[in-house]
């Protein structure tokens, strides 16, 4: 029982680190940033629900740098309280890992959407909620049109 709990903690820690790593890669894809900017951006995109601690983020940044996923773009010392402001950017390997992680996440999200949304349409109809099922279908169709339009514009443009 204790071994199972320890394994669960390790799996949870790994999932946490992988999620944080993905967010760091995604944020650095927008623009090179320093650690504090990365923390603030994560807090912003999670609507204040998650602000990784410096003691978590900076060791991860060091690990990502050692793995060749990010590199130091610049290091500023003037006007920085407590030392240096290190600005990180993605390397080619970082971009490639970001692409791989995105493809993995898309397949996970597609599976979740299928379970959470598409399968329930049949269940709604089966239980007599025909109009409600049509509402869900219309809503999904609108979303698919928007995402398809955005994909066409971004991928073919």
Q: What is the pLDDT of residue 17?
A: 83
3-state secondary structure of 75: strand
Tokens of 63: 């690990």
Strand partners, 126: none
CA distance 150 to 147: 5
- The predicted structure's pLDDT at residue 156: 86
How far is residue 14 from each of residues 9, 51, 129, measured CA to CA in Å?
9, 17, 42
∠ CA(19), CA(108), CA(143), 5° rounding? 105
Q: Left, alpha or beta for 87 (phi > 0: left; psi -120 to 50: alpha)?
A: beta
pLDDT of residue 109: 87
Mean pLDDT, 10 residues at a time, the chain of 157 residues: 61 76 96 94 93 93 96 75 83 97 90 84 95 94 93 86
pLDDT for the residue numbered 121: 92
Q: What is the pLDDT of residue 116?
A: 82
| Whole-model pTM over 0.85 | no
Alpha carbons 111 and 117: distance in angstroms, whole number: 10
Predicted pLDDT of residue 31: 96
Phi, psi of 128 (to 5 degrees): 85, 10
Q: What confidence score (pLDDT) does residue 44 get?
A: 95
Strand partners, 90: 70
Residue 67 CA to residue 78 CA, distance in Å, equals 29
């Amino acid at each position: 029982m204790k071994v199972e709990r320890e394994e669960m903690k390790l799996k949870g820690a790994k999932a946490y680190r992988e999620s944080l790593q993905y967010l760091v890669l995604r944020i650095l894809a927008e623009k090179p940033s320093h650690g504090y900017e990365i923390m603030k951006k994560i807090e912003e995109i999670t609507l204040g629900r998650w602000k990784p601690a410096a003691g978590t983020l900076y060791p991860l940044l060091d690990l990502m740098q050692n793995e060749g996923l990010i590199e130091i773009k610049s290091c500023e010392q003037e006007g920085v309280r407590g030392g240096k402001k290190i600005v990180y950017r993605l390397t080619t390997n970082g971009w490639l890992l970001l692409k791989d992680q995105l493809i993995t996440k898309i397949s996970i999200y597609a599976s979740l959407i299928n379970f959470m949304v598409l399968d329930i349409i049949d269940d709604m109809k089966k239980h007599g909620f025909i109009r409600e099922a049509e509402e869900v279908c219309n809503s999904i169709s609108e979303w698919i049109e928007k995402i398809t339009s955005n994909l066409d514009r971004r991928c073919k443009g």
